[in-house]
Amino acid sequence: MADQVPFFSPKHLGNLRARIRAFVVDNFLFGDEEGLQDETSFQESGIIDSTGILELVDFLEKQFGIAISDEELIPDNLDSIDKTACFLNKKVGASELSQGVVQLG
C-alpha cells in the first residue's frame, strides 16, 4: 500500500497559515505585514535570518507539540508561510488534528 500523505482541509491550512503569519508579523515585521505573501521567502526577503529561524522553530515546536530535527531545518520546510504550513501538514498529520491533539484555532 502506498504511503498516505496527511491532508488538512483548506480551513485547517488557512488556520495554520494565519498562525504562522501572525507569529512572523509580530516577531519579525513589528506588526507591518505589507508585502508579505504566503509564498514570500523569509531569507531572500530578509524577513528572517538564521537566528530567526531558530525562533520560528521554537514557536512551531511549542505551538504544535512537535520536535524538529536538525535535518529538517532546510529552506524547503521553513522558508515561507506556505512551506512551513506544508511542512506542518506532513509533520503533524491529519489524524492528530482530527483527534484534537493539535489545536488550530
How does pLDDT run across 86-99, given as a tens digit for each residue?
999 888 774 355 45
Spatial distance between the Cα atoms of 43 and 38, rounded to a whole number of angstroms: 13
Confidence of residue 18 (pLDDT cuts 50, 70, 90): very high
Query: The CATH number of the domain where 73 resides is what?
Result: 1.10.1200.10
Supply the range of the domain harboring residue 79. 10-92
Element holding 61 (H helix, E strand): helix 50-64
Domain presence at residue 102: no
Does the pLDDT of residue 43 top 70, yes or no?
yes
Instruction: For residue 47, tell me if it sits in a domain.
Output: yes
Q: What CA–CA distance (Å, rounded) separates 54 from 28?
A: 12
**Is residue 80 over pLDDT 80?**
yes
Q: What is the pLDDT of residue 9?
A: 62
Residue linked to cell 519579525: 28
Cβ-contact 42, 78 below 8 angstroms: yes
Sign, CA torsion 35/38/44/50: positive
> What percent of the chain has a predicted confidence (pLDDT) above 90?
58
Overall number of domains in the chain: 1
> What is the pTM assigned to this prediction?
0.78
In a domain, 2, yes or no: no
Asked if residue 80 belongs to a domain, the reply is: yes
Q: Do residues 43 and 49 touch, judged by C-beta distance below 8 A?
A: yes
Residue 1 in domain: no
